[in-house]
Structure 1
Amino acid sequence: MSRSELRRLPALASASRDPQNLLRHRRNAKLLGRGFSELRHPVGGEPADPHARGALWPPVARANARQRAADAGRRDPLPGEQGYRPALSGPRGTSAGDELSGQLKRYLRAFPQVHLHLEYSRSNKIYEDAVRGNIDLGVVAYPIRRPQITGIPFREDRLVLVCPPGHPLSRHKNISITKLNGEPLVGYERDIPTRKETDRLLRRYGVDVRYVMELDNIETIKRVIEIGTGIAILPEPAVRSEVRSKTLSTVQLSDEVFLRPLGIIHRQGKHFSPAAEKFIEFLRAE
């Protein structure tokens, strides 16, 4: 990271409180994200801190896990794992820190010699990378059948209304989705599966909302909701930390239970090592 990039940090911190400035500085944020990544990567090596998390997440998740022997006295790697490099890719718009943190932490405690690095990218790219063998595993929202792809059911997250504390709707525990008619909504970009399903849901109930902002990143969506830009329909696990800290409020949608399915995908016929099989087990564990 250059000195000029470091000087942009205060501006980005200030921009996070203003949605217009936030959009103006998004390009700088991506540049800084690359800079932080460089700081975490020793020359020719892996990230020094696999859990480091910036204010703005880069676009869907590729987790590169490397099995290696630990220092003397530490646990031996799983059989046949020397040099193994599985990669996991997950959908843009997720927050792995909130949604998968429990499973990932348990896995890393059980296998401390595994080095995990998370990134994010578009769902269609995850499918393409899985078919081409660029990744071992992918996590996608609303998984679909595709040639050469095997899908494993992962879990289903409940969709809830998310709004800033003090918003009139935040006073309710449950509301009908029809109450969102005319409300300003902050949403994902239109090609993201969760946005497509949200739009279908709103149309089914005859709800007409005003999208005031469309973003590709759930962390940014949460930040602009916190400052009162609008409300959103999001997976409940993604906002648990904000609800605990009382920076966001959630309201259940009473018409029915709206679920967002997640699936683990991989190329058909792919052989997994013991470490990768254990990784799938930990991801699916609740």
Structure 2
Amino acid sequence: PYPLNLTKSLRRLDDGQLRIAVTSAANAFAVDLIARFLQQHPQLQVILNIANRQEVLASLERNDIDMAIMGEPPQTLGLVAMPFHRNDLIVIAAASHPLRHELNIPLQRIAEEPFVLRELGSGTREAILRFFGERGLQLRQSLVMNSNEAIKQAVKVGMGLAVVARHSVIVKMESGYLCSLSVDGFPLRRAWHLVHRKGKQLAPAPREFKTFLIEHQYVQHTDGAEELL
């Protein structure tokens, strides 16, 4: 992992600090959220650490951070996970891929293609392998990489398919470098989760960030139901 400091000058001594970690798959998404949060609360200091899912969970268990943002919710009983934003996973391919114009491609056909996957410990990797495994399918792993940007580059040059968060590839798809394949069962409807230790007494800054997510990331319908954006 590597630290990234997003700091605004403190205007009052009691303004506080938010210590947060995010999984690398949520990097760009989380930085955008934090930037918008700081626009409303410029007096706060945010310490952001980016790592893979296992490392983020370890930080939570050591109580090194206040909270974390990740895709796959943890199964640990000592942690609380709050879904706050929709995270659709799609199958991407090079813009020139032979399957780019096919509709409703069967999963068995897709499983025959080489795939570029994240490293062990990645929540996205776990979700993908579980999804195909539950259907009796095993993916062909052509490459394993620990960077989403590297995965997108590998897919762009035709080294395989990948499953990624839709929001992370919109620009490259609009630019014509990548395409989204129409695959049975996709997109996988997932959510980004805010995670913290169960029973943890949140300080004012992390408590305000949690409130910010609750207030800004849900759509409230007239019937009282909530839908993830």
Q: Normalised by the size of structure 2, how large is the TM-score?
A: 0.80
Query: CA, structure 1 residues 160+131, in 2 after alignment: closer, same or farther (shift >3 Å)?
Result: same
Q: Distance in 2 between matches of 1:193 and 1:250?
A: 21
Cα RMSD (Å) of the superposition?
2.7
Pairing 1:69–2:10 present: yes
Uncovered stretches (5+) of structure 1, i.e. residues with no partner:
1-58, 71-76
1:200 Cα deviation after fit: 2.0
The Cα of 1:117 is off from its aligned counterpart by 5.1
For residues 148 and 66 of structure 1, the distance between their equivalents in structure 2, rounded to whole angstroms, comes to 30
The verdict on how the C-alpha distance between 1:128 and 1:208 changes in structure 2, with shifts beyond 3 A counting, is closer
Shift of 1:279: 1.8
Structure in which a larger fraction of residues adopt helix: 1
SS of residue matched to 2:10: coil
Cα displacement (A) at 1:101: 5.0
Larger Rg: 1
Residue 170 of structure 2 aligns to a residue in which SS?
helix
Please, which of 180, 184, 187 is the counterpart of residue 114 of structure 2? 184
Which structure has the higher relative contact order (CA within 8 Å, separation 6+)?
A: 2
Q: Percent identity?
A: 22
Q: Deviation of residue 147 (structure 1)?
A: 4.1
* Equivalences, count: 216
1:115 offset after TM fit, Å? Answer: 4.5
- Residue 88 of structure 1 pairs with residue 20 of structure 2: yes
Other structure's SS at 1:171 match: coil
Q: Are the equivalent residues in 2 in contact too, given 1:188–1:216 (CA < 8 A)?
A: yes
Decide whether the 8 Å contact of 1:63 with 1:87 is kept in 2.
no
Structure 2 distance, partners of 1:221, 1:187, is: 7
Deviations 1:236-258 (A, max 9, x none): 12212212222211124333652
Counterpart residue number, 2:176: 246
C-alpha spacing 1:146/1:178, structure 2 compared with 1 (3 Å): same
Distance 1:117 1:224, change over 3 A: farther
C-alpha distance in 1, partners of 2:7/2:38? Answer: 12
Q: CA offsets per residue over residues 115-167 of structure 1, 9 Å max, x none?
A: 44543223233222223221111112221232432222233311111111111
Q: Aligned partners of 1:143, 1:64: CA distance in 2, in Å? A: 25
- Specify the alignment match of 2:220 in structure 1: none
Q: Trace 1:33-112 onto structure 2 (pairs within 5 A).
A: 59=1, 68-70=9-11, 80-81=14-15, 84-92=16-24, 94-97=25-28, 99-112=29-42
